[in-house]
Amino acid sequence: MTLFSPTDQRKRTAADILLYGCKDLGFAPHGEYWKQIKKISIVELLSHQRVQSFQFVREEEVEVVIDKIRNVCLKGESINLTETLALVSNNIISRCVLSQKSEEDDDGKCSKFWSLSKRLMVIFTSFCFGDMFPYLGWLDMITGLIPSLKALSREIDTFLDKIIEEH
């Protein structure tokens, strides 16, 4: 028995708040709307031509991470591969979508994209009482999950609005 089946239409709290009521490809319920956004995604974003247009970005970022791993190994130090692979993935996505890297700045602070990405992943994997036990959903307010989700949603909206204005 699985907790959630692929045809399960229940919304997840984090996805509902952060993804505008589950209107994205990953969380939208299967139906006509989902078919339309899948079609648009495949034609506009995931076409062979579009994917190949960013091949150089993937190659450059993989080369950078291989050099970083090589240098660390030559020094005899250890490296956190989880963090390194997450950073290279974020750099690839950031360069393809925002035309800039998301890696650390000169002063050691991570960029806004990187920090928002990390916070998003952490909050998406947080335990939500309302998702597992709907009658205990009120506990999510007490634990601070709902306010945290709403605050993060506002931050992401502000960040994306800034990116849209720049482009």
* 58-99: pLDDT as tens digits: 999 999 999 999 999 999 999 999 989 988 988 898 888 887
Least Cα distance to 112 among 158, 54, 81 occurs for 158
Q: Provide the token pair at 61.
A: 């970022």
Q: How many helices (H) and strands (E) does the chain have?
A: 9, 0
Structure confidence at residue 3 (pLDDT): 44
Structure confidence at residue 6 (pLDDT): 45
Question: Is residue 15's pLDDT more than 50?
Answer: yes
Q: Which amino acid is at 18?
A: L
Structure confidence at residue 104 (pLDDT): 52
* 88-144: pLDDT as tens digits: 988 898 888 887 776 654 443 457 888 888 899 899 889 999 999 999 999 999 999
Pairwise CA distance, residues 143 & 129, whole Å: 10
137 close to 129: Cβ distance less than 8 angstroms: yes
The pLDDT-based confidence of 11 (bands split at 50, 70, 90) is low
29 close to 68: Cβ distance less than 8 angstroms: no
126 close to 14: Cβ distance less than 8 angstroms: yes
Structure confidence at residue 83 (pLDDT): 87
Tell me the domain boundaries of the chain: 11-51, 54-114, 136-167
The pLDDT-based confidence of 147 (bands split at 50, 70, 90) is very high
Pairwise CA distance, residues 163 & 111, whole Å: 13
Farthest-apart Cα atoms in the chain, separation: 55
